Structure 1
Amino acid sequence: MAALDLASDVVSLTRQLVDTPSESGQEAALADAVEAALARLPHLDVSRVGHSVVARTHVGRPTRVVLAGHLDTVPAADNLPSRIEDGRLLGLGACDMKGGVAVALRTAAALPAPAHDVTYVFYECEEVSSDRNGLTRIAAHRPDLLAADLAVLLEPSDAGVEAGCQGTLTAEVVATGRRAHTARAWLGRNAAHRAAAILQRLEDHIGAEVEVDGLTYREGLSAVGVRAGVADNVVPDSCVVTVNYRFAPHRSPQEAVAYVTGLFPEFEVRVTDLAPAAPPGLRQPAVAALVGALGCEPRPKLGWTDVARFAELGIPALNYGPGDPGLAHTPGEYVTLDQLTRCEERLRAWLTA
């Protein structure tokens, strides 16, 4: 790919990022380009961990801030290359979250001596299972690179502040039965039929609304997959319903597991993926100061982001970036040109105040 031009405007840079495919697990080319562009800036110390790139200023400020964004996208859906229509930049990852990455890269290039020392983190594999996440690898191999007093995830938040995040749990709820020939179905026990109780329980479930630090988080529990059967003439002896639970920051991961397990006491529940929620942290001085500087009324983050990873490291964090989060992962995702410019201007003003 062509070298990234960090001196170009934020819209042009976003288009260049969007037009560089980087589906999860295939970020190498984009990571190479980001690393090369940042290495040309003498005020930054650049490190590489896998296909994640970290660049740091060393101005000697008393505080350090992380600006972070993931390089990967979900698979393409006939939405490349990028295009601009009616004040919107459309294309794979424009919203989630190459617009935010462009804002961070532009900021890195433009501010050799920011008011806070800054660590810029551009990481791989956010859109897949948590064990592959680039921040997890950095924390395991180079935890010193993530040390900071505050972190900002440039995830799409409609150019507003979204505080904290929901936790996420994926589990398999297993109904068992007994195989038989379908011509003599009464000799078996149909696991797929037994799974109707699981699905009905999910249909009847009402997600809790929980207030944390003055923000209201809505929980959700959904079936996202059902599999059963080995052949058209065999009564299935197993039916697996995959469920996803989005839980509010008042629950620990262990409490989330206990909650889901408790809903299905007569079935086996196998947890396959689990990531913690993050509290809003709005009362923490660093977070409150940033919210005030950005001039935004905080909203709850209804979704999971890596603010949770920073919270686990004891670093207060929030989401602030261009793009409507409701457009993430959709074929028609876009980011408005206005939000790209606004986020860049506000972050730069805060880092030069």
Structure 2
Amino acid sequence: MAAFLTGWMTAHGFSAHIDEAGNAVGERGSGPLTVVLLGHIDTVPGEIPVRVEGDVLYGRGSVDAKGSFCTFVAAVAGLPGEALAGARFVCIGATEEEAPSSRGARAAMSRYRPDLVLIGEPSGWAGLTLGYKGRLVARLHVQKDNFHTAGEGTSAADDLTEAWFRVRAWAAQAAGGGIFDSVQATLQSLSARTDGLAQIAEGTVGLRLPLGVPPHSAETALRELLRDLPITLTFTGHEAAVRHPKDNALTRALRVAIRERGGTPVFKVKTGTSDMNVVAERWLVPTVAYGPGDSALDHTPDEHLDLGEYDRAVGVLTAALTRLAAAGRGQDSGT
């Protein structure tokens, strides 16, 4: 995938390479303003036959999120020469966004110092995503001496189930005024077995966290909540929630471009996480997630992208980037 994308970018006027994290990176322009367009090119598992039916493209990654990254490179490839004189555009097709490592985004975060950032995620062509909830994954392990089921005491599975009930109740009482401001807890896996002389029960709980509950605070709360149970806890995926301001040069340029094409800009926040969460700790600049498609189709067997919407998104982004580059050259952007 990275080789294909860097080949396409090279053929369309980019200076392109594959970096040490496996990211497909392409650059155009030499102006004083640096705009990073970070999308991910990995997908969740699942084969969906790739096909076009009418104006609709079916396939894994068409929405989440190769469609968004292709929007980025198509828009930058179509920029006029004066835009390339006003800004430097860096398109990064990142690896491992669908894994806890976020390897591609972390490599980019340490290398670039952008003035503006676009994250490639489906928002709809007229949508602008400002924030994502945080994430924490808890893995629970219980191991106890085996005993006859007619005896007294709790089984390993009993203890694990009790732990899940407590976590679910804690999340419910921590709820805020809406889904973006609440703690969401999901039981992602659950298993129990007898292994010789031992009972073993294991489970994975995923937490989606609001701005007011940092991952390390949630970890501390769960350790205290479950400290009287014979459970070993392991935590991964410590991603803090993020929400960017809605009024800045980047959002204004996008809003103007959407209205010019007959759309009504809509600001959104998402209950999932993205590479926006990862880079926010270091890239303290105006940031928006943008891309065509319906995020409700992410990870589903029916993932598909309307190609007319894709074209509109490319047009919006081309116009917005041109406007931003004009501002980068010291001109009045008119936003």
The TM-score with structure 2 as length reference comes to: 0.82
Q: 1:94 aligns with which of 62, 65, 86?
A: 62
Where does residue 162 of structure 1 map in the other structure?
A: 129
Report the equivalent of 1:24.
Answer: none
* Aligned equivalent of 1:197: 162
In structure 1, stretches of 5+ residues that fail to align are 1-29
Match 1:118 to one of 89, 114, 117:
89
**Aligned in 2, Cα 1:261/1:331: closer, same or farther, shift over 3 Å?**
same
What CA distance in whole angstroms lies between the structure 1 residues aligned with 2:291 and 2:224? 37
Which residue does the alignment assign to 2:34? Answer: 64
CA shift, 1:325, in A, is 1.1
Deviation at 1:150, TM superposition (A): 1.6
Question: CA separation of 1:281/1:210 partners in 2, compared to 1, >3 Å: closer, same or farther?
Answer: farther
Distance 1:55 1:90, change over 3 A: same
Conserved in 1, the CA contact under 8 Å of 2:46 and 2:60? yes
Partner of 1:315: 284
Displacement of 1:95: 1.0
Residue pairs, 1:1-353, within 5 angstroms = 30-42=1-13, 44=15, 46=17, 48-61=19-32, 63-77=33-47, 79-80=48-49, 82-85=50-53, 87-111=55-79, 113=81, 114=83, 115-130=86-101, 133-139=103-109, 143-144=110-111, 146-159=112-125, 160-180=127-147, 182=148, 186=151, 189-204=154-169, 205-206=171-172, 208-209=175-176, 216-231=180-195, 236-267=198-229, 268=231, 270-282=233-245, 285-290=248-253, 292-293=255-256, 294=258, 296-316=265-285, 317-353=287-323
Identity %: 24
Unaligned runs of 5+ in 2: 260-264, 324-335
Question: How far apart are residue 188 of structure 1 and its match?
Answer: 7.1
Distance 1:208 1:72, change over 3 A: same
Over 3 Å counting, the alpha-carbon distance change for 1:196 and 1:155 in structure 2 is: same
Alignment coverage as a number of residue pairs: 309
Compared CA separation, residues 138 and 314, structure 1 to 2 (3 A):
closer
Q: Which has the higher contact order (CA 8 A, sep 6+)?
A: 2
Q: What are the Cα deviations for residues 246-276 of structure 1, in whole angstroms up to 9, with x where unaligned?
A: 1012332322322333432323452332232
CA distance in 1, matches of 2:14, 2:42: 26
Cα distance change on mapping 1:287 and 1:110 into 2, 3 Å: closer
Q: Tell me the distance in 1 between the aligned counterparts of 2:14 and 2:135.
A: 38
- Work out whether residues 97 and 156 of structure 1, in 8 Å CA contact, stay in contact via their aligned partners in 2: yes
CA RMSD of aligned residues (A): 2.7
